Amino acid sequence: MQIQTPEWVKHAVFYQIFPDRFAKSQPPTQTRKGIDKGYYPSTLEPWDEPPTPQGYKGGNLWGVIEQLDYIQDLGVTAIYFTPIFQSTCNHRYHTHDYYRVDPILGGNEALRVLIDAAHDRNIKVVLDGVFNHASRGFYFFNDILENGPHSPWLHWFKVEGWPLSAYDGSLPANYVGWVGNRALPVFNHDNPEVKEYIMQVGEYWLEFGIDGWRLDVPFEVKTPGFWQEFRDRVKAINPEAYIVGEVWSDCVQWLDGTQFDGVMNYLFTGPTIAFTAGDRVDIDQVKGCDYSAYPAISAVEYGQKMQELLQLYPWEIELTQLNLLDSHDTARVLSIAQGDKASVELATLLLMTFPGAPSIYYGDEVGLPGKLDPDSRRSFPPREKWDAQVLEYHKQLIAIRNQYSALRTGSYEVLFAEGNVYVFARILGDEEIIVAINSGTEVAKVNVPVTQFNSQPSKIVYGSCEILWQEESTQLELNLFPRNGSILVNN
């Protein structure tokens, strides 16, 4: 079978937005008539105060629309939104209505305007599909709470006994909730009605104009053939739609070309942090997480892990993995590294030069810190609190990735890995690029074998280092400054 994945994803740079915390605004005056204003709350948490697990900041899609020029100026070409459908929680993983964008976010009308405005800028839009579980407020489950065993929707969920206790924790819930959480009743995916409902939700929003789905905890869905059918029906509407799963570990069983185009690539995240931040990692921010950001690893170990990762899946799928350093489910990389900016810059350099689509968690590009949830979901800061240097290197690295095809679809070859020095090549046709990292605290002078090169990449487009090509062009001498990384390209 020939595996096909969306071509645009191979060239994309993603920006992940947690809608309640990114930006807020009002709908344009000329479009207000008939707009679903919903019940926008008059009482919200102050934007600049630390977030709480249950409070709303009031961010919405109208605010995102106003910031599209900023997002485009970053060089971003795709946005991944955490859930936007109606829900009674700020993160919206408790879905009430899969066909209605939350009124607080601006309703379906705001999403329509956003998609059109994003597409005008050649920016794709990917939504979060929470299809493993719903919420107590989801109509079909609420009917069961009201009517008990007489509900026609009884077999949509996994009811185990009576009476159901949806709120009183002193009594057994008597139904299956995700990870035992009675706020998140799990769908009975073996029920053909449930399966068809979810399939139609997936189709509806593709027809509405979105460019793909990020699937929340898809590994929880055990029904044979479920994700194969989901893929078939999504791709029938848009063959270039992106399907990316939230799977933190080895994902071979889902990345066979019949289900997902990629996953959130935490197998890249952990080693990259462990190598660049090393013993600076705040263990409390990564302990117990489903990715290995500690203990510190050497360049040799990092190279081995990256080569193993690139051999796990077919190359066509490697190019559509969603690579990331952090997300709404983790502490932010700046806080993981205990504020060490060099660690974050080195990690970002590796993110932007690795095969697959890099994803930036909103605010990382301006130096926003944040420990584990809810702190990692802080509001986007005002301009006066931006770290201009961090923003500048993000723009620079994204521009370099967008400029050189080899950094997107070229081969990945480890050239040198010893101590704290890691050097690799990205090669595509005549484009030959060298990326060199020194994560150590001392100057490193190394000789790199370069027999596979047809040219002599010597133009430094990022960072700073001293280079000397031997006359026979089989050795490259690099003098690498401490806690520094560089990108060399051929002219």
List CB contacts of 309: < 8 A, sequence separation 6 or more. Answer: 265, 267, 268
Catalogue the E-assigned strands of 407-463.
Answer: 411-418, 421-428, 431-438, 444-449, 459-462
Return left, alpha or beta for 303; rule: phi > 0 is left, psi -120 to 50 is alpha, else beta: alpha
List CB contacts of 239: < 8 A, sequence separation 6 or more. Answer: 4
β-pair partners for 119: none
What distance in Å separates the CA atoms of residue 231 and residue 213, rounded to the nearest whole number? 10
Q: Could you give the 3-state DSSP secondary structure of residue 135?
A: coil
Strand order across the 465-469 sheet: 444-449, 475-480, 465-469
DSSP state for residue 11 in the 8-state scheme: G
What distance in Å separates the CA atoms of residue 83 and residue 41, rounded to the nearest whole number? 19
β-pair partners for 476: 448, 469
Tell me the CB-side half-sphere exposure of residue 196, using CA atoms within 13 A. 3
Contact 419, 298 (CB under 8 A): yes
Q: At what angle do helices 192-208 and 226-237 cross, to 10 degrees?
A: 30
Active site residues: 216, 246
